[in-house]
Structure 1
Amino acid sequence: MAAIPQHGAHPPEEQEETSAAYARTDRTWPARGRDRATYDREVVHAILDEGYVCHLGFVRDGAPVVLPTLYGRIGERLYVHGSTGSRPLRAAGRADDGMPVCLTVTHVDGLVLARSGFHHSINYRSVVVHGVARPVADEKERRTALDAIVEQVVPGRAADCRPADAKELAATAVLSLDLAEVSAKVRTGGPNDDPEDLDLPYWSGVVPVAPVYGAPLPSEDLRPGIPVPGYLADF
Protein backbone atom coordinates (compact mmCIF):
# COMPACT_ATOMS: atom_id res chain seq x y z
CA MET A 1 0.00 0.00 0.00
CA ALA A 2 1.18 3.50 -0.77
CA ALA A 3 2.27 5.67 2.11
CA ILE A 4 -0.58 7.80 3.45
CA PRO A 5 0.40 11.44 4.08
CA GLN A 6 0.23 12.48 7.71
CA HIS A 7 -2.25 15.15 8.71
CA GLY A 8 -0.84 18.54 7.86
CA ALA A 9 1.86 17.21 5.52
CA HIS A 10 2.31 17.93 1.83
CA PRO A 11 -0.43 20.50 1.17
CA PRO A 12 -1.78 20.43 -2.40
CA GLU A 13 -0.18 23.77 -3.18
CA GLU A 14 3.20 22.03 -2.89
CA GLN A 15 2.30 18.85 -4.79
CA GLU A 16 3.59 18.62 -8.32
CA GLU A 17 0.94 17.68 -10.87
CA THR A 18 2.76 14.86 -12.66
CA SER A 19 1.73 11.56 -14.20
CA ALA A 20 1.89 10.18 -10.66
CA ALA A 21 -0.90 12.53 -9.59
CA TYR A 22 -4.37 13.43 -10.78
CA ALA A 23 -4.80 16.96 -12.07
CA ARG A 24 -6.42 19.31 -9.57
CA THR A 25 -9.70 20.91 -10.70
CA ASP A 26 -12.16 23.39 -9.23
CA ARG A 27 -14.37 20.50 -8.10
CA THR A 28 -11.55 18.56 -6.45
CA TRP A 29 -10.00 21.59 -4.72
CA PRO A 30 -11.54 21.54 -1.20
CA ALA A 31 -12.85 24.71 0.39
CA ARG A 32 -11.76 23.48 3.85
CA GLY A 33 -9.07 21.13 5.13
CA ARG A 34 -6.81 21.67 2.13
CA ASP A 35 -3.83 20.38 4.08
CA ARG A 36 -5.53 16.97 4.15
CA ALA A 37 -6.06 16.74 0.40
CA THR A 38 -3.91 14.68 -1.94
CA TYR A 39 -4.06 13.82 -5.64
CA ASP A 40 -1.43 11.08 -5.53
CA ARG A 41 -2.51 8.13 -7.70
CA GLU A 42 -1.06 5.47 -5.42
CA VAL A 43 -2.82 6.92 -2.38
CA VAL A 44 -6.12 7.14 -4.27
CA HIS A 45 -5.79 3.56 -5.55
CA ALA A 46 -4.87 2.26 -2.09
CA ILE A 47 -7.96 3.84 -0.53
CA LEU A 48 -10.22 2.52 -3.28
CA ASP A 49 -8.71 -0.97 -3.21
CA GLU A 50 -9.23 -1.34 0.53
CA GLY A 51 -12.99 -0.81 0.23
CA TYR A 52 -15.91 -2.20 -1.70
CA VAL A 53 -18.90 -0.02 -0.74
CA CYS A 54 -19.29 3.38 -2.38
CA HIS A 55 -21.97 6.05 -2.48
CA LEU A 56 -23.05 7.16 -5.93
CA GLY A 57 -24.60 10.62 -6.18
CA PHE A 58 -26.56 12.00 -9.12
CA VAL A 59 -29.61 14.12 -9.95
CA ARG A 60 -32.92 12.39 -10.72
CA ASP A 61 -36.03 14.36 -11.68
CA GLY A 62 -34.37 17.53 -10.47
CA ALA A 63 -33.58 16.14 -7.00
CA PRO A 64 -30.24 14.88 -5.65
CA VAL A 65 -30.04 11.14 -4.98
CA VAL A 66 -27.30 9.12 -3.25
CA LEU A 67 -27.22 5.32 -3.54
CA PRO A 68 -24.91 2.90 -1.69
CA THR A 69 -23.57 0.19 -3.98
CA LEU A 70 -20.62 -2.13 -4.56
CA TYR A 71 -17.80 -1.18 -6.91
CA GLY A 72 -14.71 -2.65 -8.50
CA ARG A 73 -11.58 -1.00 -9.87
CA ILE A 74 -9.67 -2.00 -13.00
CA GLY A 75 -6.80 0.38 -13.67
CA GLU A 76 -8.12 3.90 -14.07
CA ARG A 77 -11.78 2.88 -14.21
CA LEU A 78 -14.44 2.06 -11.63
CA TYR A 79 -17.43 -0.17 -12.25
CA VAL A 80 -20.74 -0.27 -10.40
CA HIS A 81 -23.68 -2.53 -11.09
CA GLY A 82 -27.38 -2.85 -10.40
CA SER A 83 -30.67 -4.06 -11.76
CA THR A 84 -31.67 -3.06 -15.28
CA GLY A 85 -34.96 -2.02 -13.67
CA SER A 86 -33.19 0.60 -11.56
CA ARG A 87 -34.32 4.09 -12.53
CA PRO A 88 -30.87 5.72 -12.32
CA LEU A 89 -29.29 2.95 -14.37
CA ARG A 90 -32.08 3.20 -16.94
CA ALA A 91 -31.55 6.97 -17.04
CA ALA A 92 -27.82 6.49 -17.62
CA GLY A 93 -28.57 4.10 -20.46
CA ARG A 94 -30.87 6.57 -22.15
CA ALA A 95 -28.44 9.48 -21.89
CA ASP A 96 -26.38 9.92 -25.03
CA ASP A 97 -23.51 11.45 -23.08
CA GLY A 98 -23.85 9.34 -19.93
CA MET A 99 -24.93 10.53 -16.49
CA PRO A 100 -22.96 13.07 -14.41
CA VAL A 101 -22.19 11.52 -11.03
CA CYS A 102 -20.13 11.94 -7.89
CA LEU A 103 -18.82 8.75 -6.29
CA THR A 104 -17.34 8.61 -2.78
CA VAL A 105 -15.51 5.98 -0.72
CA THR A 106 -14.66 6.50 2.97
CA HIS A 107 -12.76 4.52 5.62
CA VAL A 108 -13.07 5.47 9.30
CA ASP A 109 -9.78 4.74 11.10
CA GLY A 110 -10.34 6.31 14.50
CA LEU A 111 -12.62 8.33 16.77
CA VAL A 112 -10.83 11.49 17.83
CA LEU A 113 -11.96 12.65 21.29
CA ALA A 114 -10.88 16.12 22.27
CA ARG A 115 -11.30 18.04 25.49
CA SER A 116 -13.93 20.23 23.83
CA GLY A 117 -16.93 19.05 21.85
CA PHE A 118 -16.00 21.41 19.02
CA HIS A 119 -12.70 19.66 18.31
CA HIS A 120 -14.04 16.09 18.28
CA SER A 121 -13.34 14.50 14.92
CA ILE A 122 -12.53 11.22 13.16
CA ASN A 123 -9.43 9.91 11.47
CA TYR A 124 -10.40 8.90 7.97
CA ARG A 125 -9.34 8.25 4.40
CA SER A 126 -11.70 9.21 1.61
CA VAL A 127 -11.83 9.50 -2.16
CA VAL A 128 -14.19 11.61 -4.24
CA VAL A 129 -14.59 10.98 -7.98
CA HIS A 130 -16.43 13.38 -10.29
CA GLY A 131 -17.27 12.30 -13.81
CA VAL A 132 -19.75 10.81 -16.23
CA ALA A 133 -21.01 7.27 -15.67
CA ARG A 134 -21.65 5.37 -18.88
CA PRO A 135 -23.45 2.07 -19.44
CA VAL A 136 -21.25 -0.85 -20.45
CA ALA A 137 -22.76 -2.61 -23.47
CA ASP A 138 -19.92 -4.93 -24.50
CA GLU A 139 -20.57 -8.37 -23.00
CA LYS A 140 -16.92 -9.20 -22.43
CA GLU A 141 -16.30 -5.94 -20.58
CA ARG A 142 -19.48 -6.43 -18.53
CA ARG A 143 -18.36 -9.88 -17.43
CA THR A 144 -14.91 -8.55 -16.61
CA ALA A 145 -16.49 -5.72 -14.61
CA LEU A 146 -18.75 -8.06 -12.65
CA ASP A 147 -15.78 -10.28 -11.82
CA ALA A 148 -13.90 -7.20 -10.64
CA ILE A 149 -16.76 -6.24 -8.31
CA VAL A 150 -16.80 -9.74 -6.80
CA GLU A 151 -13.00 -9.65 -6.43
CA GLN A 152 -13.19 -6.22 -4.80
CA VAL A 153 -15.20 -7.74 -1.94
CA VAL A 154 -13.39 -11.09 -1.59
CA PRO A 155 -10.18 -11.54 -3.63
CA GLY A 156 -10.12 -14.99 -5.21
CA ARG A 157 -13.89 -15.45 -5.23
CA ALA A 158 -14.64 -14.67 -8.87
CA ALA A 159 -12.84 -17.81 -10.05
CA ASP A 160 -14.55 -19.89 -7.37
CA CYS A 161 -18.23 -19.35 -8.24
CA ARG A 162 -20.53 -19.78 -11.23
CA PRO A 163 -20.40 -16.77 -13.54
CA ALA A 164 -23.60 -15.02 -14.57
CA ASP A 165 -25.61 -16.84 -17.23
CA ALA A 166 -27.25 -15.08 -20.18
CA LYS A 167 -30.47 -14.36 -18.28
CA GLU A 168 -28.67 -12.96 -15.24
CA LEU A 169 -26.39 -10.88 -17.42
CA ALA A 170 -29.38 -9.43 -19.24
CA ALA A 171 -30.93 -8.42 -15.90
CA THR A 172 -27.76 -6.67 -14.72
CA ALA A 173 -26.74 -3.16 -15.69
CA VAL A 174 -23.11 -2.08 -15.41
CA LEU A 175 -21.83 1.50 -15.35
CA SER A 176 -18.24 2.61 -15.85
CA LEU A 177 -16.65 5.74 -14.39
CA ASP A 178 -13.17 6.84 -15.38
CA LEU A 179 -10.76 8.03 -12.70
CA ALA A 180 -9.97 11.43 -14.17
CA GLU A 181 -11.30 14.09 -11.80
CA VAL A 182 -10.29 12.62 -8.45
CA SER A 183 -9.11 13.71 -5.02
CA ALA A 184 -8.43 12.07 -1.67
CA LYS A 185 -8.54 13.48 1.85
CA VAL A 186 -6.82 11.96 4.87
CA ARG A 187 -6.86 12.84 8.56
CA THR A 188 -4.49 11.14 11.00
CA GLY A 189 -3.17 11.94 14.46
CA GLY A 190 -4.70 13.07 17.71
CA PRO A 191 -7.07 15.84 18.77
CA ASN A 192 -6.31 19.47 18.07
CA ASP A 193 -7.20 20.92 21.43
CA ASP A 194 -6.92 24.63 22.13
CA PRO A 195 -3.94 25.49 24.37
CA GLU A 196 -6.22 26.91 27.05
CA ASP A 197 -8.07 23.55 27.26
CA LEU A 198 -5.03 21.34 27.89
CA ASP A 199 -5.41 21.46 31.68
CA LEU A 200 -9.10 20.54 31.66
CA PRO A 201 -9.90 17.25 33.50
CA TYR A 202 -11.23 15.42 30.44
CA TRP A 203 -9.70 12.40 28.72
CA SER A 204 -8.57 13.05 25.17
CA GLY A 205 -7.11 10.77 22.54
CA VAL A 206 -8.01 8.41 19.72
CA VAL A 207 -10.12 5.25 19.69
CA PRO A 208 -8.82 3.15 16.76
CA VAL A 209 -11.43 1.72 14.38
CA ALA A 210 -10.81 -1.25 12.07
CA PRO A 211 -13.01 -3.83 10.30
CA VAL A 212 -13.19 -7.30 11.81
CA TYR A 213 -14.14 -10.42 9.84
CA GLY A 214 -15.44 -13.47 11.68
CA ALA A 215 -14.90 -17.12 10.84
CA PRO A 216 -16.79 -18.19 7.67
CA LEU A 217 -20.17 -19.80 8.43
CA PRO A 218 -21.24 -22.49 5.92
CA SER A 219 -24.75 -22.35 4.52
CA GLU A 220 -27.18 -24.91 5.92
CA ASP A 221 -27.57 -26.58 2.53
CA LEU A 222 -23.83 -26.78 1.74
CA ARG A 223 -22.94 -30.19 0.35
CA PRO A 224 -20.86 -32.20 2.86
CA GLY A 225 -17.16 -32.39 2.14
CA ILE A 226 -16.75 -28.91 0.62
CA PRO A 227 -14.01 -27.20 2.67
CA VAL A 228 -13.59 -23.50 3.32
CA PRO A 229 -11.44 -22.25 0.40
CA GLY A 230 -7.98 -21.03 1.25
CA TYR A 231 -8.59 -17.45 0.13
CA LEU A 232 -11.53 -17.28 2.57
CA ALA A 233 -9.84 -19.13 5.45
CA ASP A 234 -7.06 -16.52 5.30
CA PHE A 235 -9.49 -13.62 4.82
Structure 2
Amino acid sequence: MSAFAKTDLNRVRRLPDRGHYDKETIYPIIDEAYICHVGFVVEERPFVIPTIHARQGDTLLLHGATTSRMLKTIQSGCPICINITLLDGLVMARSVFHHSMNYRSVVLFGQGHIIEDPATKLEALYTFTEKLIPGRWDDARQPYDNEAKATTIVAIPIDSASAKVRTGPPGDDDEDYALPVWAGVIPITQRLGTPLDDPSLNPGIAVPDYLNQYVKSRS
Protein backbone atom coordinates (compact mmCIF):
# COMPACT_ATOMS: atom_id res chain seq x y z
CA MET A 1 0.00 0.00 0.00
CA SER A 2 1.53 3.30 -1.11
CA ALA A 3 -0.96 5.52 0.73
CA PHE A 4 -3.01 5.50 3.92
CA ALA A 5 -6.77 5.33 3.62
CA LYS A 6 -8.47 8.64 4.36
CA THR A 7 -10.69 8.14 7.41
CA ASP A 8 -12.37 10.23 10.09
CA LEU A 9 -9.27 9.60 12.21
CA ASN A 10 -6.57 10.96 9.89
CA ARG A 11 -8.53 13.24 7.56
CA VAL A 12 -7.17 16.80 7.35
CA ARG A 13 -10.18 18.98 8.08
CA ARG A 14 -8.78 22.52 8.13
CA LEU A 15 -7.44 23.48 4.67
CA PRO A 16 -7.84 19.95 3.29
CA ASP A 17 -6.02 20.88 0.06
CA ARG A 18 -2.81 20.82 2.11
CA GLY A 19 -3.44 17.25 3.20
CA HIS A 20 -1.40 14.30 1.92
CA TYR A 21 -1.93 10.61 2.58
CA ASP A 22 0.79 9.03 0.42
CA LYS A 23 3.85 7.47 2.01
CA GLU A 24 6.15 9.27 -0.44
CA THR A 25 5.21 12.50 1.34
CA ILE A 26 4.75 11.20 4.88
CA TYR A 27 7.80 8.99 5.40
CA PRO A 28 10.50 11.53 4.37
CA ILE A 29 9.08 13.97 6.93
CA ILE A 30 9.30 11.29 9.62
CA ASP A 31 12.85 10.41 8.60
CA GLU A 32 14.14 13.99 8.40
CA ALA A 33 12.94 14.97 11.87
CA TYR A 34 15.01 14.19 14.94
CA ILE A 35 12.18 14.63 17.45
CA CYS A 36 8.55 13.57 17.62
CA HIS A 37 5.85 14.38 20.18
CA VAL A 38 3.94 11.41 21.59
CA GLY A 39 0.42 11.89 22.91
CA PHE A 40 -1.12 9.35 25.29
CA VAL A 41 -3.55 9.18 28.20
CA VAL A 42 -2.86 7.91 31.72
CA GLU A 43 -5.74 7.74 34.21
CA GLU A 44 -7.83 10.08 32.05
CA ARG A 45 -5.07 12.71 31.97
CA PRO A 46 -3.42 13.55 28.62
CA PHE A 47 0.35 13.78 28.23
CA VAL A 48 2.53 14.85 25.30
CA ILE A 49 6.21 13.88 25.50
CA PRO A 50 9.01 14.83 23.07
CA THR A 51 11.38 12.00 22.21
CA ILE A 52 13.69 10.65 19.53
CA HIS A 53 12.23 8.25 16.99
CA ALA A 54 13.30 6.07 14.09
CA ARG A 55 11.42 4.26 11.34
CA GLN A 56 11.73 0.70 10.07
CA GLY A 57 9.47 0.29 7.06
CA ASP A 58 5.88 0.83 8.21
CA THR A 59 6.84 0.79 11.89
CA LEU A 60 7.87 3.66 14.15
CA LEU A 61 10.34 2.92 16.94
CA LEU A 62 10.60 4.70 20.29
CA HIS A 63 13.12 3.96 23.01
CA GLY A 64 13.98 4.98 26.55
CA ALA A 65 14.59 3.74 30.08
CA THR A 66 12.69 0.71 31.32
CA THR A 67 11.13 3.00 33.96
CA SER A 68 9.61 5.36 31.36
CA ARG A 69 5.92 5.97 32.05
CA MET A 70 5.35 6.79 28.38
CA LEU A 71 6.83 3.50 27.16
CA LYS A 72 5.04 1.48 29.84
CA THR A 73 1.76 3.05 28.75
CA ILE A 74 2.40 2.45 25.06
CA GLN A 75 3.39 -1.19 25.51
CA SER A 76 0.12 -1.78 27.37
CA GLY A 77 -1.61 -1.35 24.00
CA CYS A 78 -3.32 2.00 24.52
CA PRO A 79 -3.98 4.02 21.34
CA ILE A 80 -1.46 6.80 20.79
CA CYS A 81 -1.08 9.80 18.51
CA ILE A 82 2.32 11.08 17.35
CA ASN A 83 3.10 14.43 15.75
CA ILE A 84 6.18 15.46 13.78
CA THR A 85 6.71 18.98 12.43
CA LEU A 86 9.40 20.56 10.27
CA LEU A 87 9.37 24.36 10.01
CA ASP A 88 10.56 25.65 6.64
CA GLY A 89 9.81 29.37 6.66
CA LEU A 90 8.10 32.42 8.13
CA VAL A 91 5.52 33.77 5.71
CA MET A 92 5.31 37.58 5.87
CA ALA A 93 2.10 38.92 4.36
CA ARG A 94 1.04 42.51 3.81
CA SER A 95 -1.64 42.13 6.46
CA VAL A 96 -1.10 40.72 9.93
CA PHE A 97 -4.07 38.39 9.44
CA HIS A 98 -2.44 36.53 6.54
CA HIS A 99 0.96 35.94 8.16
CA SER A 100 1.71 32.22 8.23
CA MET A 101 4.45 29.60 8.21
CA ASN A 102 5.68 27.12 5.65
CA TYR A 103 5.83 23.70 7.25
CA ARG A 104 5.66 19.95 6.77
CA SER A 105 3.86 18.01 9.47
CA VAL A 106 2.72 14.45 10.08
CA VAL A 107 0.16 13.03 12.48
CA LEU A 108 0.18 9.26 12.86
CA PHE A 109 -1.81 6.79 14.89
CA GLY A 110 -1.13 3.30 16.18
CA GLN A 111 -0.71 0.94 19.10
CA GLY A 112 2.68 -0.22 20.30
CA HIS A 113 4.27 -3.37 21.62
CA ILE A 114 7.57 -3.95 23.36
CA ILE A 115 10.44 -5.60 21.49
CA GLU A 116 11.63 -8.55 23.57
CA ASP A 117 13.81 -10.53 21.15
CA PRO A 118 17.47 -9.55 21.77
CA ALA A 119 18.45 -9.68 18.09
CA THR A 120 15.46 -7.57 17.03
CA LYS A 121 16.20 -5.14 19.84
CA LEU A 122 19.81 -4.79 18.73
CA GLU A 123 18.63 -4.15 15.17
CA ALA A 124 16.36 -1.39 16.49
CA LEU A 125 19.25 0.21 18.39
CA TYR A 126 21.25 0.08 15.17
CA THR A 127 18.42 1.88 13.38
CA PHE A 128 18.36 4.66 16.01
CA THR A 129 22.13 5.12 15.82
CA GLU A 130 22.31 5.17 12.04
CA LYS A 131 19.42 7.63 11.87
CA LEU A 132 21.48 10.13 13.85
CA ILE A 133 24.78 9.62 12.02
CA PRO A 134 25.13 7.01 9.25
CA GLY A 135 28.25 4.95 9.94
CA ARG A 136 28.33 5.58 13.67
CA TRP A 137 27.24 2.09 14.73
CA ASP A 138 30.37 0.41 13.36
CA ASP A 139 32.67 3.10 14.79
CA ALA A 140 31.43 3.47 18.37
CA ARG A 141 31.30 0.79 21.06
CA GLN A 142 28.10 -1.19 20.74
CA PRO A 143 25.79 -1.79 23.72
CA TYR A 144 26.73 -4.15 26.51
CA ASP A 145 24.07 -6.68 27.49
CA ASN A 146 23.21 -4.76 30.67
CA GLU A 147 22.81 -1.53 28.66
CA ALA A 148 20.46 -3.21 26.21
CA LYS A 149 18.46 -4.70 29.09
CA ALA A 150 18.11 -1.25 30.67
CA THR A 151 16.59 0.09 27.46
CA THR A 152 12.98 -0.40 26.43
CA ILE A 153 12.14 -0.26 22.73
CA VAL A 154 8.56 -0.03 21.57
CA ALA A 155 7.49 -0.77 18.00
CA ILE A 156 4.41 1.03 16.71
CA PRO A 157 2.96 -0.18 13.40
CA ILE A 158 1.76 2.94 11.59
CA ASP A 159 -1.92 2.10 11.17
CA SER A 160 -3.03 5.52 9.96
CA ALA A 161 -1.29 8.77 9.08
CA SER A 162 -1.58 12.01 7.18
CA ALA A 163 0.66 14.93 6.35
CA LYS A 164 -0.13 18.62 6.08
CA VAL A 165 2.17 20.83 4.04
CA ARG A 166 2.28 24.55 3.30
CA THR A 167 4.69 26.00 0.74
CA GLY A 168 4.99 29.20 -1.24
CA PRO A 169 4.43 32.93 -0.77
CA PRO A 170 1.78 34.70 1.30
CA GLY A 171 -1.79 34.92 0.12
CA ASP A 172 -2.99 38.47 0.66
CA ASP A 173 -6.36 40.02 -0.06
CA ASP A 174 -6.46 41.58 -3.53
CA GLU A 175 -6.74 45.13 -2.22
CA ASP A 176 -3.66 44.70 -0.01
CA TYR A 177 -1.19 43.96 -2.83
CA ALA A 178 -0.85 47.71 -3.44
CA LEU A 179 0.23 48.42 0.15
CA PRO A 180 3.84 49.66 0.60
CA VAL A 181 4.65 46.72 2.89
CA TRP A 182 7.39 44.15 2.28
CA ALA A 183 6.03 40.64 1.86
CA GLY A 184 7.67 37.30 1.23
CA VAL A 185 9.15 34.27 2.96
CA ILE A 186 12.02 34.07 5.43
CA PRO A 187 13.46 30.55 4.99
CA ILE A 188 14.24 28.45 8.05
CA THR A 189 16.74 25.61 7.78
CA GLN A 190 18.28 23.20 10.28
CA ARG A 191 22.00 22.79 9.71
CA LEU A 192 24.75 20.85 11.41
CA GLY A 193 27.73 22.85 12.62
CA THR A 194 31.44 22.06 12.85
CA PRO A 195 32.03 19.14 15.26
CA LEU A 196 33.48 20.19 18.64
CA ASP A 197 35.96 17.88 20.37
CA ASP A 198 35.06 16.46 23.77
CA PRO A 199 37.51 18.08 26.26
CA SER A 200 38.32 14.55 27.47
CA LEU A 201 39.12 13.26 23.97
CA ASN A 202 42.41 11.37 23.77
CA PRO A 203 45.11 13.14 21.75
CA GLY A 204 45.40 12.24 18.08
CA ILE A 205 41.76 11.24 17.52
CA ALA A 206 40.40 13.15 14.54
CA VAL A 207 36.81 13.62 13.46
CA PRO A 208 36.08 10.55 11.27
CA ASP A 209 35.50 10.99 7.55
CA TYR A 210 31.94 9.59 7.63
CA LEU A 211 30.99 12.20 10.23
CA ASN A 212 32.57 15.08 8.30
CA GLN A 213 30.79 13.95 5.15
CA TYR A 214 27.44 13.75 6.92
CA VAL A 215 27.87 17.18 8.51
CA LYS A 216 28.79 18.62 5.12
CA SER A 217 25.65 17.11 3.58
CA ARG A 218 23.49 18.76 6.28
CA SER A 219 25.27 22.14 6.36
- TM class by shorter-chain length? over 0.9
Q: Distance in 1 between matches of 2:150 and 2:31?
A: 27
SS of corresponding position for 1:48: helix
Find the partner of 2:128 among 141, 144, 149: 149
Aligned residues: 214
Ranges in structure 2 where 5+ consecutive residues have no aligned partner: none
Find the partner of 1:176 among 126, 132, 155: 155
Structure 1 runs (4+) deviating above 6 angstroms are none
Q: Distance in 2 between matches of 1:33 and 1:152?
A: 32
Matched, 1:124 2:106: no
Q: Shift of the alpha carbon at 1:123?
A: 0.5
Query: Deviation per CA, 1:211-235, whole angstroms, max 9, x where unpaired?
Result: 1211111111112222211121122
SS of corresponding position for 1:118: helix
Q: Percent identity?
A: 44
Please tell me the residue identity of whatever aligns with 1:141. Answer: T
Find the partner of 2:53 among 51, 60, 71: 71
Residue 73 (structure 2) aligns with: 91
- Pairwise CA RMSD: 1.2
Query: Deviation per CA, 1:146-193, whole angstroms, max 9, x where unpaired?
Result: 111121122221222112212111211111111220111111001011
Find the partner of 2:33 among 51, 54, 60: 51
Residue 114 (structure 1) aligns with: 93
Residue 62 (structure 1) aligns with: 44
SS of corresponding position for 2:112: strand
Check the 8 A contact 2:33/2:86 in 1, yes or no.
yes
Q: How does 1:1-235 map to 2 (within 5 A)?
A: 19-93=1-75, 95=76, 98-234=77-213, 235=215
Q: Shift of the alpha carbon at 1:132?
A: 0.6
Normalising by structure 1, we get a TM-score of 0.87
Check the 8 A contact 1:72/1:150 in 2, yes or no.
no
Ranges in structure 1 where 5+ consecutive residues have no aligned partner: 1-18
Q: Shift of the alpha carbon at 1:141?
A: 1.4
Q: Distance in 1 between matches of 2:118 and 2:87?
A: 36
SS of corresponding position for 2:79: strand
Q: Distance in 1 between matches of 2:4 and 2:160?
A: 7
Q: Shift of the alpha carbon at 1:36?
A: 0.6
Check the 8 A contact 1:112/1:207 in 2, yes or no.
yes
SS of corresponding position for 1:99: coil
Query: Deviation per CA, 1:45-101, whole angstroms, max 9, x where unpaired?
Result: 2111211211111111211111110011111111011111111222334x2xx1211
SS of corresponding position for 2:102: strand
Q: Distance in 1 between matches of 2:37 and 2:133?
A: 19
Normalising by structure 2, we get a TM-score of 0.93
Check the 8 A contact 2:74/2:80 in 1, yes or no.
no
